Amino acid sequence: MRKNGLILQFFMLSLGFMAAAAFCAFHAEAQQSTNTAAGGLRYLSPGMPPVMIQPTVGASETTQVATKSAHGAGKNTSNLNLFYGGGTSGIGVQTAPVVYLVLWGSQWNNNDPSGEEAILVNFLKSVGGSPWSNVDSQYCEGVASGTYTCGGAGTPAGNNIVFGGAWFDNASAAPTNPTEADVAAEAVNAATFFGNTAAGSNENTQYIIATPNGDSTVGFGTQFCAFHSFTASSSGNISYTDLPYITDGGTFCGANFNGLGPDAGITIVEGQDLTESITDPFPITGWQDANNQEIADKCAWITSGKAAVANVTFPDGQTFPVQSLWSNAYHNNKGGCVMSY
């Protein structure tokens, strides 16, 4: 029996890695040699699945200026609604999201100068059921690839977000500059720690891998503020976020953005990856536009107007800075950035 069990486990793991390899091969065609969008699809590491990056403030501002210039020339470059990518093994959105936070590395011991752990925990406990995160619910799975409007068909993304708990994985140090593969491996460790190892147990989970103050993936603050992706494992495909210590990025990653305070970037950035992992848990087979941008990429770092980054009060009365999210339904299905749905 034990031998048969090991053979089955090896078979499932092999299938998982074959699926990940297929993702990379299939979606490589979608990645242009130069991706001019500020955020969205990137391939950071050879042989790894695609990641979806949260752009820096500067990169987003540059893109917004270019977009306005293109509009002046009569070109429509940004008002592209999201469409369904067909899902992976039937999973295209998270219908009952459960979010886990991992404080990775002994560097977290007595070293959290911005209080990011408490801010993240409070945010993740509060966000479920809010009109802000309800924007996700207009997107669904169980519909045809290429669908723009669910219209009651399929199963919608869930706004019933549950915080599953936090793990201080601090027995040893995290790498000084963790790679994409390092973070993916830690997400698998987290699934094991939280007991999510049975088949299907990770269809609605996401793991936030929070790296410590001073130790982040190369590219943080210059190429991205965070990114989300997935990894194959014997426990199924696992959705995760690489979340650096955001205040290390200063104004490049949201400090004092729109006058919201030095810690504003923490929930702005995590909020983006939270909603995108719900609507596109296995990039890019959930919901994205023709430029491979997701629900939050299209509305990143807006400084003014109704869709500007602002403080939002959640159902439990707590207030957090968040960005707007893309709604296909806005303005008679023309689409736009909104703060609620």
State yes or no: pLDDT of 152 exceeds 60: yes
- Range 57-77 average pLDDT: 57
Q: Is position 232 within any domain?
A: yes
Q: Is position 151 within any domain?
A: yes
Q: Is the pTM of this model over 0.75?
A: yes
Q: How confident is the model at residue 287 (pLDDT cuts 50, 70, 90)?
A: very high
Instruction: Give the closest residue to 161 by CA, choosing from 117, 114, 206, 127.
Output: 127
Q: Is position 323 within any domain?
A: no
For 30-45, what is each residue's pLDDT tens digit? 333 234 478 999 999 9
For 267-286, what is each residue's pLDDT tens digit? 999 999 999 999 999 999 99
Q: Is position 60 within any domain?
A: no
Q: How confident is the model at residue 266 (pLDDT cuts 50, 70, 90)?
A: very high
For residue 92, give both structure tokens: 């295209």
For 75-115, what is each residue's pLDDT tens digit? 334 459 999 999 999 999 999 999 999 999 999 999 999 99
Query: 282: which DSSP letter?
Result: S
State yes or no: pLDDT of 13 exceeds 50: no
As a residue count, the chain comes to 341
Q: How many domains does the chain have?
A: 1
Q: Would you give the end-to-end CA distance of the chain in angstroms?
A: 52
Instruction: Identify the pLDDT of residue 165.
Output: 98
Instruction: Identify the pLDDT of residue 37.
Output: 72
Instruction: Identify the pLDDT of residue 32.
Output: 31
Phi/psi for 327 (5° steps) reads: -115, 115
Residues β-bridged to residue 102: 167, 209
State yes or no: pLDDT of 66 exceeds 80: no
- Range 164-174 average pLDDT: 98
Residues 6+ apart with CB under 8 A from 1: none
Q: Is position 51 within any domain?
A: no
Instruction: Identify the pLDDT of residue 108.
Output: 98
Q: Is position 202 within any domain?
A: yes
Q: Is position 159 within any domain?
A: yes
Instruction: Identify the pLDDT of residue 54.
Output: 96
Exposed / middle / buried, residue 88 (Cβ in 10 Å: 0-12, 13-18, 19+): buried
State yes or no: pLDDT of 3 exceeds 50: no
Instruction: Identify the pLDDT of residue 8.
Output: 37
Q: Is position 71 within any domain?
A: no
Supply the range of the domain harboring residue 253: 91-297
Residues β-bridged to residue 207: 100, 240
Instruction: Identify the pLDDT of residue 61.
Output: 85
